[in-house]
């Protein structure tokens, strides 16, 4: 029997933990509505920082870049990573089994090493071939590269959990590979694809370091904008931009919750950042 006292202590602990987890975000949101330029004293409610935000061309274009980067890299990564996860499942006994190690490389490599390796590589290529000059393109490539392994792992895990006999049955049922993909693989992989889409999206939104080192003059994203703005101290304007990002993440969270309820087979997606 669990003691009542322990249970009570755990409840209090849980409450405090929620405060710890959400206080920093709440403070950011709260002070973004401050009517004065301070994050220590709240003088009154105002939307002026948001108005300024949307009148500031640099911020609006950073917002656009953030959205384009996150969506483009996630879509590409889900396709490439999904194929890779399937390929590893289907051909795992082949001569290519050593390739599996490729997947773990981005997982253990520190962000900062990843970022500078990409940066120096892009610079070297650019000097010689004139392609891959720093910008949204190089950022998408870098993001896709760290997203692909996570997508592949999720899709692969889902396939491993299926009964191998299903595949044989499917083979007998449909002759053409595209039919198998369309009528069998896609439906059974739907939950895994959905959760890997969300995971890849959050990985992209969470990243700062890799974006920072692969960005060019015209591809500033919101986190990079904030990074240079907070050198002057945290202002309500910075808090307002941050609030927009927090809001969008809450939307993603809500969406993932609904998606979980929608698909019974969908397990809790292992969320979080790139390790």
Partner 1 sequence: MSVLHRETRHMLFTVAPGALCIFVFLVLPSVYLVGMAFLTNGPYGLPTLPLSLQSFRELAGFGFLGWSPGNLYTLIRSVWQTLLATALVILLAYPAAYYISTRPARWRPLMLLVIVVPSWTNQVIRSVGWMNIFAPGTPVSDFAALLGLTAPQMGLFPSQFAVIVGLVYNFLPFMVLPLYAAFERLDTEQVEAAKDLFASPMAVFRHAVFPQTLPGLMAGTVLVAIPAFGMYVVTELLGGGKATMIGNLVARQFAQASNWPLGAAGAIIMIAVTLIGLKVLRDLGRRLSGDREVVL
Partner 2 sequence: MTHRRIGVTAMAVALAAGAGQAAAQFEGETLSLFNWSQYMDPAIIEGFEDEYGVEVVENYFNSNGEMFAKLQAGGVSQYDIIVPSNYYVPRLVESGLVQPLDHDRLPNLDHLMDTFIDPDFDPGNEYSVAYQWGTTGLVYDRDELGDMPASWSVLFDPAVNPEAPFALPEDAQVTLGAACAWLGHGYDCTGREALEEAARLVLETKQRDNFAGFIQGTPVLQQLVRGSVAAGMTFNGDYLFYKSEDPEGFENIEYVIPEEGAEIWVDNMMIPAEAPNPELAHAFIDYILRADVGAQLSNWNYYSSPNAAALPMLDEVLQQPPITPTDAEMESLTFIPSLKGDNLQFLQQVWREVESR
145 binds, among partner 1, partner 2, none (CB under 5 to 8 A by kind): partner 1
- Per residue, what are the HEC states of 191-228? HHHHHHHHHHHHHHHHCCHHHHHHCCCCCCCHHHHHHH
Is 53 a binding residue for partner 1 by CB under 8 A? The answer is no
The residue range among 53-61, 100-108, 157-165, 189-197 that interacts with partner 1, by the rule CB under 8 A, is: 100-108
Segments in 91-185 forming alpha helices (H): 100-108, 111-129, 136-160, 164-173, 177-180
Environment class of residue 229 by beta-carbon count within 10 Å: exposed (0-12), middle (13-18) or buried (19+)?
A: middle
161 is a site residue for partner 2 (CB under 8 A): no
Determine if 96 is a binding residue for partner 1 (CB under 8 A): yes
Indicate which single residue of 62, 148, 189, 194 sits in contact with partner 1 (rule: CB under 8 A): 148
Which residues within the stretch 101-120 sit at the binding site for partner 1 (CB under 8 A)? Answer: 102-103, 105-106, 108-114, 116-120
Q: Would you say 82 and 151 are in contact if contact means Cβ atoms under 8 Å apart?
A: yes
What are the b/e assignments for 15-33, b being 16+ CB within 10 Å? eeeeeeeeeeeeebbebbb
CB of 230 to partner 2, least distance (A): 9
Question: Considering only residues 33, 49, 88, 150, which one is a binding residue for partner 1 as defined by CB under 8 A?
Answer: 88
Q: How far apart are CA 155 and CA 55, in angstroms?
A: 42
**Which residue among 35, 38, 46, 145 contacts partner 2 (CB under 8 A)?**
38
Q: Residue 265 interacts with partner 1 (CB under 8 A)?
A: no
Selection from partner 2, partner 1, none that 152 binds (CB < 5 to 8 A by kind) is partner 1
In sequence order, what are the beta bridge partners of 45?
34
Task: Name which position in 4, 176, 217, 261 contacts partner 2 (CB under 8 A).
Answer: 217
- Specify the stretch interacting with partner 2 by CB under 8 A; choose among 16-24, 122-130, 177-185, 237-245: 122-130
What do you get for the CA distance between the two ends of the chain, in Å?
Answer: 38
Contacting positions for partner 2 (CB under 8 A): 37-38, 58, 119-120, 122-123, 126, 133-134, 213, 216-218, 220, 228, 231-233, 235
């Amino acid at each position: 029997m669990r003691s009542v006292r322990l249970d009570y202590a755990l409840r209090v602990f849980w409450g405090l933990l929620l405060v710890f987890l959400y206080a920093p975000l709440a403070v950011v949101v709260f002070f973004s509505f401050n009517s004065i330029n301070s994050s220590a004293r709240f003088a009154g409610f105002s939307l002026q920082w948001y108005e300024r935000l949307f009148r500031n061309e640099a911020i609006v274009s950073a917002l656009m870049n953030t959205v384009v980067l996150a969506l483009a890299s996630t879509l590409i990564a889900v396709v490439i990573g999904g194929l890779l996860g399937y390929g590893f499942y289907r051909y795992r006994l082949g001569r290519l089994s050593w390739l599996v190690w490729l997947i773990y490389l981005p997982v253990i490599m520190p962000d900062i090493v990843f970022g500078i390796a990409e940066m120096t590589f892009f610079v070297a290529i650019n000097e010689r071939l004139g392609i891959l000059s720093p910008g949204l393109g190089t950022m998408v490539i870098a993001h896709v590269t760290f997203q692909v392994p996570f997508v592949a792992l999720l899709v692969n895990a889902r396939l491993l959990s299926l009964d191998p006999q299903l595949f044989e049955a499917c083979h007998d049922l449909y002759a053409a590979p595209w039919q198998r993909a369309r009528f069998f693989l896609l439906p059974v992989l739907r939950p895994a694809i959905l959760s890997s889409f969300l995971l890849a999206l959050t990985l992209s939104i969470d990243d700062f370091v890799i974006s920072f080192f692969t960005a060019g003059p015209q591809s500033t994203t919101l986190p990079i904008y904030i990074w240079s703005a907070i050198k002057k101290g945290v202002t309500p304007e910075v808090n307002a931009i941050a609030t927009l990002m927090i809001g969008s993440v809450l939307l993603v969270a809500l969406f993932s919750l609904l998606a979980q309820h929608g698909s019974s087979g969908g397990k809790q997606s292992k969320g979080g950042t790139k390790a």
